[in-house]
A and B are shown apart, each in its own frame.
Chain A
Amino acid sequence: MRSLSRWERDLLLVGVVLLAGCRPAVTRTEEATDVVRRFFAALPEGNCDQLAPLLVTGADAQPCAAVVAELNRHAVRLLEVESAQEDGRNPDAILVRARLAQGGVPRANASILRVERQGSTWRLRP
């Protein structure tokens, strides 16, 4: 077997370096799921400086303070995210299937949470 030429060795070295540093891009569903987890993690504290950037904005959006107050009034908490997939009618919306608890009691049925892309960020529609 012949030995590698210098440029072949250089090419191989570059390939190894690239593979070592290469990670799969975060998928849209992963981004949306992350928004859901971060929102519910911050919800009990009720700080809209942290929570508002995770919620959709616009004319039909509810104010952060009102959303947070109602969710905390009902003690809604995230138990687990089961799955996430794109809304078949809108590629800029992800449907996150989650198990929630209300007042300390797990809800009987899974809930579908909607996360929408606004600009370059993904935001939860309460």
Chain B
Amino acid sequence: MLRTLAAVAAAALVACGSQQGAPGEPGTETGDEGASGQLALTRDAGGVRGTFTRGADVVAFSSRQVEAGVFELEVRLSGMTLTALLDADNGVSTLDGFASESGTDTQMLDADRALLGDFYGALNAELPAGAAAGDEARYLRRAVGQWAQHPSSVELPRLVMGEQGRGYTMLCSYAKCGGNFTGGCSSYNWYSYAKHDCQHGGFSATINQQIAQLGNHYSCSGDEYYLSGSTWVCGEPDHWSRPKVVGNCFGRCGGGCGGDTQYTLDATNHDGCVRNGHALASAYCDDQFVSATDDELFAPDCY
């Protein structure tokens, strides 16, 4: 009788333990793969500069420290100039974008984002992760990562400041599972909840929330893995009620698993929006994008 009970209990435990299983192959700590184009980057006492070429498209860039802790960046592509003046010590930046020839306003479009996304991938492939890249290159990479996600409906000239009294709400602890920032998860460390607002009832609506395992643990060709019943599916749940999600560096600033390792509240909410039934540059996620910008530029790395 006792052996029967034990066998039943063991079977039950095995069933519970394998109910969710593992989504897939553990993610590796590399930059985005598959970026096309050629990066020519030069470093000297004046900072970093160079070009990124993809077919007929050329991106010219420069980044230099103009005074202690203040960096001036410029990226030019497709008749547009993007500039940033970043005061890293005070967490304040002035961003701008305009038509190169006339200096008048322009707008970020799909083709611009695609080119910047490839440029970002090339920077990730070329530069060391995190602070090892050097400040000029690191802030350039962060700014490019931010511009590569810039929605068309958000204007280019912006003043970006961290919210007073709050700093950056870091979620580094939630980026670990089993005590590690990378690799598969023998057990999960769920963060509740990634949230965004739309007409369904705002941040408190359960269909605008996800239960997320942050961190670089799994990767797939869709937006993420989400749990459908007892099966992990690669893709994007469209306004499900609090689905469990993991993969592709959910919660990390920048697109995908870029070269910096900042996991923050605002970045998590932004991912929760663009990976929950909205496109990356969806206007419905404008507020989350704007809120996450200061995190992406200035929040510290988790590791």
The reply to whether A74 and B286 contact each other, CB–CB distance below 8 Å, is no
B152 on interface, CB distance cutoff 8 Å: yes
Q: Any chain A CB within 8 A of the CB of B105?
A: yes
Q: Residues of B with Cβ closer than 8 Å to A?
A: 78-80, 98-99, 101-107, 152-155, 197-202, 283-284, 286-287, 290
In the complex, A112 Cα to B153 Cα: how many Å? 4
Once the chains are docked, how many angstroms separate the CA of A52 from the CA of B296?
Answer: 38
Asked whether, in the complex, the Cβ of B284 is within 8 Å of the Cβ of A112, the reply is no
Give 14 new A-B contacts, CB below 8 A, not counting A75-B199, A105-B197, A111-B286: A85-B105, A88-B98, A88-B102, A89-B79, A89-B80, A89-B99, A93-B107, A95-B105, A103-B199, A103-B200, A108-B287, A109-B290, A111-B153, A113-B153
Tell me, in angstroms, the Cα distance from A109 to B94 when the chains sit together: 16
Return chain A residues, CB-CB under 8 Å to B104: 85-86, 88
Enumerate chain A residues within 8 angstroms of B283, measured Cβ to Cβ: 111
In the complex, A124 Cα to B79 Cα: how many Å?
23
Assess whether A95 is in contact with B107, with CB atoms less than 8 Å apart.
yes
B102 nearest CB neighbor, chain A only: A88
A interface size (C-beta, 8 A): 24
Closest beta carbon of chain B to A85's beta carbon, Å: 6
- Residues from chain A with a CB closer than 8 A to the CB of B197 are 102-103, 105
**Closest residue of A by beta carbon distance from B103:** A88
Check: A73 CB closer than 8 A to any chain B CB: yes
How far, in whole Å, are A112 and B108 apart by their CA atoms in the complex? 10
| Contacting residues, chain B, for A103 (C-beta < 8 A) | 197-202
* Alpha-carbon distance between A85 and B106 when the two chains are bound, in angstroms: 9
Partner of A87, one of B101, B105, B202, B290: B105
In contact, B290 and A88 (Cβ under 8 angstroms) = no
Most chain A CB within 10 A, of B98, B101, B107, B202, is at B107
Q: Report, nearest first, the 9 A-B pairs whose CB atoms are least far apart.
A: A88-B99, A103-B199, A88-B104, A75-B199, A111-B153, A74-B199, A88-B102, A89-B79, A88-B106
Check if A114 is an interface residue, CB within 8 A of chain B: yes
Indicate if the CB atoms of B107 and A102 lie closer than 8 Å: no
Given contacts A89-B106, A102-B284, contact A110 B199 (CB under 8 A): no
- Determine how close the nearest CB of chain A comes to the CB of B137; give it in whole angstroms: 28
